[in-house]
Structure formats: structure tokens, C-alpha cells
Amino acid sequence: MSIRSSFLRNTLRWFVLGPDNSLEKMRTGLERFGRFTRRNVADWSEVTVGGVPAIRVTPRSEPSGLHILYLHGGAYNMGSPMSHLGLVSQIVSRLGATATVIDYRLAPEHPYPAAIQDCLAAYRALLAEVEPSSLVVAGDSAGGGATLATMVAAREAGDPLPACLYLLSPWTDLTLSGESHETKRSVDPLIPRAGIEGHLKLMDDMVDGYRGTQDAGHPGISPLFADLTGLPPMLVQVGADETLLSDSTMLADRAEAAGVEVDLDVAEGMWHVYQFLAPMLPESRTALDRAAAFILGRTATESQPDPTAVG
């Protein structure tokens, strides 16, 4: 691990979460972190897609014809298109793609299935604009879980599916059954340092806010337990030092068993959604370069940009 990554690791939790873990403070912290990671490498504007507010991020290079529906993370309780503008801009710049980042409804004000209803409405609206072969659905953390839940709902409804999925540290199991919740708690920089009890209390609060009256194991809430048959090829990137590591490794096993093409990319020494720090961290840039190559290999585009040519 580089000196720079060690420094960022040691300061990350304070920067994002601040001195306490109240939902209001965490919402503010994530927006602040989003501003910190933003660079002027793409353009954006406010739009509405399928009745859902969103931002549309556009490349400054010649558009490739590729379109990404991006579902932001934040444990379904926080986050916004603007908190993730920096990360999405880095992806857009590598692909010459256009991205739509939706502002789905958040818990606990709007529990399940509100977020997935918004994601599915936006996805269906994009299908009227973009050929499925040029469409990618991507998301980080809860947004990765929402990506899976939305695609399962689309498949069940008979909607066309996109060319591929890109999942960054997806939160797929809200029952918190993965062993990494215990084995990685001492090295994950984004969990409270109060020990496993404090970590699980925070996670339980987030889960309860999102699940509402439903069981956390409901496949629409925890898509790890959904039937994954027929889903598009997926790239799953996860840090080796995060408590959600098991959510990704178990997902890869289940997807492979269902006959889904899955590429699991575990980054040694990295943490939850480490790609956020692409402007500062070489490991993050390398991961996004790999993701761009994966996406370009599975989509129909008008041109083939150089995925490493990012300002």
C-alpha cells in the first residue's frame, strides 16, 4: 500500500462521518466528501427521467453513444447525484459516455420499495432513449444492491436488460450475515471504532430505516437471495479490507451458479468504494480503467475511446 493510500485510509472515516454517526451528520458528511472528490472533467445538468429527478453527466470528448444509469450509494439513507458527481465524472471521462444519476427516494422517510420503484421507472425511461446494447447500469454500495434488485424486477417484468452491470462494493445482504462484518471490522476505515457492537448497531439502524415492515432477507431488499438467472454480465469490484467483502464474494458465487458471467475484482489493501478517490489514489484510477475496459468489451458504441485518457 502506498504512503498516499495509507494517509487517505487513516483520514477517510473522519472526513466522511465526522465525530458522530447521526443520520443528519452522515448525510452532510457524504455530500462534503463528494465535493472533495469532484474534478472539472465532465459537464452536467439537471433532468427528470421517468418522473425521477436526476443529473445528466456528459463527456467533453466526442460521445461514444454509451449511456450509464448510475445508482448512488449511501446505505439507502443518504447520498445524492451530487455526492457522486465526482466518481461518475471519472467513469464518464474514461468511456466517452453519458450518465444519468438519479435522485431516488431515501429511507427512512421513504422505505422499500420506494427506491427500487424510482430506479425501475428511470431505467424504463432510458430504454426509450438508448438501445439496451449501449446501456449499462452501475452503482456503488446500496446503489450496487439497487442495481441488482432493479434488474431482477426488470427481468421479471419482461423488460429488455442492459449490456452489462458494474457494481462497486455492492451491499447485497441486508441481513448482515457475511463473515467479513466481523473479520474485517478492525481494518475497515468506514466503520465506527466502538467494536462489532457499535458497527452492527449503525448497520441495523440503516437496515431498519430501509426495510420498513419487510424482512431484511426479502430478495428485493437483499438481492443476494434473489434468482439471478439471466442477468447481464457483471463486474464486481470490492476492497479486501471492507466489511462488505462477503456481500461481493457471495454474490459472485451465486451469480456464477446461476450461469451469469461475473468478474470479481478484489483489491488488496482497499476499502469500501475506494474508487471514489480516483483523483488522488492510483489504485482507484487503475480500478476505473479496468472497469472501463470491461464495459467497452460488452457494449455497442459508436467509437472506442481510450479508457485511460482522463483529465
> Does the active-site annotation cover 72?
no
**Catalytic choice (64, 134, 180, 242):** 242
246 in active site: no
CB 133 within 8 A of CB 168: no
| Residue-level pLDDT at 193 | 40
Task: From the candidates 80, 89, 272, 284, give the one annotated as an active-site residue.
Answer: 272
Q: What is the pLDDT of residues 214-256, one digit of tens each?
A: 999 999 999 999 999 999 999 999 999 999 999 999 999 999 9
Distance CA 64, CA 307 (A): 12
Question: Alpha-carbon distance 8 to 14, whole Å?
Answer: 10
Q: Which residue has the cell 458465487?
A: 253
Contacts for 11-19: CB closer than 8 Å, 24+ residues apart = 12/189, 12/190, 12/271, 13/189, 13/190, 13/191, 16/190, 17/190, 17/192
- Write down the pLDDT at residue 310: 58
**Locus of grid cell 449511501:** 74
Rounded to two decimals, what is the model's pTM?
0.92
Name every residue whose Cβ is closer than 8 Å to that of residue 4 and which is 6 or more positions away in sequence.
280, 281, 282
242 is catalytic: yes
Residue 7 has what pLDDT?
A: 59
Distance CA 198, CA 159 (A): 41
- What is the distance of C-alpha 134 from the center of its chain? 19
Sheet containing 135-140: which strands, arranged edge to edge?
A: 43-49, 52-58, 98-102, 67-71, 135-140, 164-168, 234-239, 262-267
Among 61, 83, 89, 141, the active-site one is 141
Q: Which ranges of the chain have pLDDT less than 70?
A: 1-21, 191-200, 301-311
Q: Which fold has domain 3-296?
A: Rossmann fold (3.40.50)
Question: What was the pLDDT predicted at 9?
Answer: 64
